Structure 1
Amino acid sequence: MSTRTADIVFFLAFVSAFLCFSLQAAPGDGAGSLMLGCGSENEATDADGRKWLPDAKFISGSNSVQAEAQYQDPALGSEVPYMKARIFTSNATYKFPAKSKQRYFLRLHFYPSVYGSNNAEQAFFSVVANGITLLKNFSASITCKATTQAYIIREYSLAPLTQDDLEVTFSVDTGFAFVNGIELVAVPDGLFDKATLVGKPDESIDSKSSNLQTVYRLNVGGSFIPPTKDSASLGRAWYDDNAYIFGANVGIPDVADNTTKIEYENIPEYSAPVDVYTTARTMGPDKNININSNLTWVFNQVDTKYMYIVRLHFSDNANTKPNQVVFTIYINNQTAEPEADVIAWSGGMGKAVYKDYVTPLSEKSGGDLWLALHPNPDPMPEYYDSLLSGVEIFKIESSKSLAGPNPKPSDMLQKDEDEQKRSFETKKDTDKGSNKAHVIGGAAGGAAAAGVVAALCIAVYQRKKRVQGTESHSTSWLPIYGNSHTSGKSSSGKSHGSRHISSAAQGRCRRFSFAEMKQATKNFDEANVIGVGGFGKVYKGVIDNGATKVAIKKSNPQSEQGVNEFQTEIEMLSELRHKHLVSLIGFCEEDDEMCLVYDYMSRGTLREHIYKGNKTHLSWKQRLEICIGAAKGLHYLHTGARWTIIHRDVKTTNILLDENWEAKVSDFGLSKTGPDLNKGHVSTVVKGSFGYLDPEYFKRQQLTEKSDVYSFGVVLFEVLCARPALNPNLPKEQVSLADWALHCQKKGILEDIIDPHLKGKVNMESIKKFADTAEKCLSECGVDRPSLNDILWNLEFSLQLQEGTDGVSTRSGSRTRSDSDDASLRNQEMMAIHYSNLSLGSESDLGEVQPSSSSDNNEAAPDSDSAIFSQIVNPTGR
Structure 2
Amino acid sequence: MEKYSVIFLITILQATIFVASEQPAYVPTDNITLNCGAPTDLLANDGRYWAADKTSNFGPFESSHNKSQAYEADTQDGSETVPFMTARVSRSEFKYTFPVTSGQKFVRLYFHPASYEENDRSKAFFSVKAGSVTLLKNFSASLVADSKGRNWFFREFCLNVEDNEVLDLVFTPSRSASNDTYAFINGIEIVSMPTKLYYTPPDSTYVPFVGQNYPFPVENDTALEMAYRLNVGGQSISPNDDTGLFMLWSDDYLYMSENSYFTMNNSVPINYTMIPRYTAPEMVYRTARTMGPSLAYNEKHNLSWRLPVGSRFSYMVRLHFCEQQDPVNSPGDRKFKVFINSQTAEQIADVIMWTVQGRVPIFKDYVVLVSKEYITIDLHPISAKYYDVILNGIEVFKLSNSDGNLGEPNPELQVAPPPPSDSSNSAGEKSKKRSLLIAGVGCAAGLIAIISLLVCMVVQRQRKGTSWLCWWVKQNEGKSRRTSPLPDELCRHFSLDEIKAATNNFHDDLVVGKGGFGKVYKGFMDDGEKIVAIKRLNRESSQGIREFLTEIEMLSQLRHVHLVSLIGYCNEKREMILVYDFMRNGTLSDHLYGTSFAYDPLTWKQRLEICKGAATGLNYLHTEVRHTVSTVMSRQATFS
Per the normalisation by structure 2, the TM-score is: 0.58
Q: Partners of 1:265 and 1:107 in 2: how far apart?
A: 30
- Of the three residues 264, 284, 287, the one matched with 1:255 is 264
Q: Which amino acid aligns with 1:85?
A: A
Q: Which amino acid aligns with 1:491?
A: R
Q: What is the CA-CA distance between 1:570 and the residue it aligns to?
A: 7.8
Match of 2:194 in 1: 188
Q: What is the CA-CA distance between 1:160 and the residue it aligns to?
A: 4.1
- 2:298 is aligned with 1:270: no
- 1:252-401 alignment runs, 5 A limit: 252-256=261-265, 258-300=266-308, 302-318=309-325, 319-362=328-371, 365=372, 367-377=373-383, 381-398=384-401, 399-401=403-405
- 1:300-699 alignment runs, 5 A limit: 300=308, 302-318=309-325, 319-362=328-371, 365=372, 367-377=373-383, 381-398=384-401, 399-410=403-414, 413=416, 490-492=481-483, 568=527
Indicate if the aligned counterparts of 2:157 and 2:224 stay in contact, CA closer than 8 A. Answer: yes
Q: What is the CA-CA distance between 1:105 and the residue it aligns to?
A: 0.3
Q: Which amino acid aligns with 1:211?
A: A
Indicate if the aligned counterparts of 2:338 and 2:347 stay in contact, CA closer than 8 A. Answer: yes
Indicate the structure whose relative CO is greater, using CA pairs within 8 Å and at least 6 residues apart. 1
Q: Which amino acid aligns with 1:409?
A: L
Q: Deviations over 1:387-439 (max 9, x none)?
A: 111111111111111111111134x636789xxxxxxxxxxxxxxxxxxxxxx
Q: What is the CA-CA distance between 1:202 and the residue it aligns to?
A: 5.4
Where 1:291 maps in the other structure, the secondary structure is helix
Q: Which amino acid aligns with 1:126?
A: S
Q: Partners of 2:492 and 2:270 in 1: how far apart?
A: 57
Q: Go from structure 1 to structure 2 and tell me whether the alpha carbon gap of 1:500 and 1:349 turns closer, same or farther (over 3 Å shift).
A: farther
Q: What is the CA-CA distance between 1:123 and the residue it aligns to?
A: 1.0
Q: Partners of 1:240 and 1:499 in 2: how far apart?
A: 45
Match of 1:781 in 2: none
- 1:13-92 alignment runs, 5 A limit: 30-56=28-54, 57-59=57-59, 60-61=61-62, 63-74=67-78, 76=79, 78-92=80-94
Q: What is the CA-CA distance between 1:492 and the residue it aligns to?
A: 5.0
Q: Which structure: greater helix fraction?
A: 1
- Of the three residues 93, 96, 99, the one matched with 1:94 is 96
Q: Which amino acid aligns with 1:314?
A: F
Q: Partners of 1:359 and 1:141 in 2: how far apart?
A: 29
Match of 2:253 in 1: 242
Q: Partners of 2:51 and 2:311 in 1: how far apart?
A: 37
Q: Go from structure 1 to structure 2 and tell me whether the alpha carbon gap of 1:32 and 1:99 turns closer, same or farther (over 3 Å shift).
A: closer
Where 2:311 maps in the other structure, the secondary structure is coil
Indicate if the aligned counterparts of 2:30 and 2:101 stay in contact, CA closer than 8 A. Answer: no
Q: What is the CA-CA distance between 1:346 and the residue it aligns to?
A: 2.0
Where 1:198 maps in the other structure, the secondary structure is coil
Query: Structure 1, unaligned stretches of length 5 or more?
Result: 1-27, 418-488, 502-565, 572-878
Q: Go from structure 1 to structure 2 and tell me whether the alpha carbon gap of 1:351 and 1:499 turns closer, same or farther (over 3 Å shift).
A: farther
Match of 2:182 in 1: 176
Where 2:416 maps in the other structure, the secondary structure is helix
Q: Which amino acid aligns with 2:374?
A: D
Q: Which amino acid aligns with 2:126?
A: F
Q: Which amino acid aligns with 2:395?
A: E
Match of 2:439 in 1: none
Indicate if the aligned counterparts of 2:29 and 2:101 stay in contact, CA closer than 8 A. Answer: no
Q: Partners of 1:158 and 1:72 in 2: how far apart?
A: 35
Q: Partners of 1:414 and 1:390 in 2: how far apart?
A: 36
Q: Partners of 2:528 and 2:221 in 1: how far apart?
A: 49
Q: Which amino acid aligns with 2:129?
A: V
Q: Go from structure 1 to structure 2 and tell me whether the alpha carbon gap of 1:299 and 1:84 turns closer, same or farther (over 3 Å shift).
A: same
Indicate if the aligned counterparts of 2:127 and 2:135 stay in contact, CA closer than 8 A. Answer: yes
Q: What is the CA-CA distance between 1:322 and the residue it aligns to?
A: 1.1
Indicate if the aligned counterparts of 2:263 and 2:288 stay in contact, CA closer than 8 A. Answer: yes
Q: Which amino acid aligns with 1:284?
A: G
Where 2:184 maps in the other structure, the secondary structure is strand
Q: Partners of 2:225 and 2:528 in 1: how far apart?
A: 37
Q: Go from structure 1 to structure 2 and tell me whether the alpha carbon gap of 1:40 and 1:570 turns closer, same or farther (over 3 Å shift).
A: closer
Query: Structure 2, unaligned stretches of length 5 or more?
Result: 1-25, 176-180, 201-205, 421-479, 495-524, 531-640
Indicate if the aligned counterparts of 2:484 and 2:492 stay in contact, CA closer than 8 A. Answer: no
Q: Go from structure 1 to structure 2 and tell me whether the alpha carbon gap of 1:48 and 1:569 turns closer, same or farther (over 3 Å shift).
A: same
Indicate if the aligned counterparts of 2:320 and 2:394 stay in contact, CA closer than 8 A. Answer: yes
Match of 1:451 in 2: none
RMSD between superposed Cα atoms in Å: 2.9
Match of 1:131 in 2: 132
Q: Partners of 1:202 and 1:168 in 2: how far apart?
A: 34
Where 2:278 maps in the other structure, the secondary structure is helix
Q: Partners of 1:570 and 1:305 in 2: how far apart?
A: 26
Q: Partners of 1:500 and 1:306 in 2: how far apart?
A: 42
Where 2:174 maps in the other structure, the secondary structure is strand
Indicate if the aligned counterparts of 1:324 and 1:382 stay in contact, CA closer than 8 A. Answer: yes
Indicate if the aligned counterparts of 2:46 and 2:240 stay in contact, CA closer than 8 A. Answer: yes
Where 1:154 maps in the other structure, the secondary structure is strand
Q: Partners of 1:213 and 1:263 in 2: how far apart?
A: 29
Q: Deviations over 1:854-878 (max 9, x none)?
A: xxxxxxxxxxxxxxxxxxxxxxxxx
Q: Partners of 1:264 and 1:228 in 2: how far apart?
A: 20
Indicate if the aligned counterparts of 1:195 and 1:207 stay in contact, CA closer than 8 A. Answer: no
Q: Partners of 1:66 and 1:122 in 2: how far apart?
A: 17
Q: Deviations over 1:506-533 (max 9, x none)?
A: xxxxxxxxxxxxxxxxxxxxxxxxxxxx
Q: Deviations over 1:479-513 (max 9, x none)?
A: xxxxxxxxxx943599x999899xxxxxxxxxxxx
Where 1:159 maps in the other structure, the secondary structure is strand
Indicate if the aligned counterparts of 1:142 and 1:406 stay in contact, CA closer than 8 A. Answer: yes
Q: What is the CA-CA distance between 1:67 and the residue it aligns to?
A: 0.2
Q: Deviations over 1:57-76 (max 9, x none)?
A: 311235211101124323x4
Per the normalisation by structure 1, the TM-score is: 0.43
Q: Deviations over 1:33-83 (max 9, x none)?
A: 100111011111112122111113311235211101124323x4x521101
Q: Partners of 2:333 and 2:137 in 1: how far apart?
A: 49
> In terms of mean alpha carbon deviation, does 176-185 or 188-197 score higher?
188-197
Q: Go from structure 1 to structure 2 and tell me whether the alpha carbon gap of 1:395 and 1:567 turns closer, same or farther (over 3 Å shift).
A: same
Match of 1:522 in 2: none
Indicate if the aligned counterparts of 1:287 and 1:383 stay in contact, CA closer than 8 A. Answer: no
Indicate if the aligned counterparts of 1:197 and 1:359 stay in contact, CA closer than 8 A. Answer: yes
> How many residue pairs align between the two structures?
395
Match of 2:106 in 1: 105
Where 2:240 maps in the other structure, the secondary structure is helix
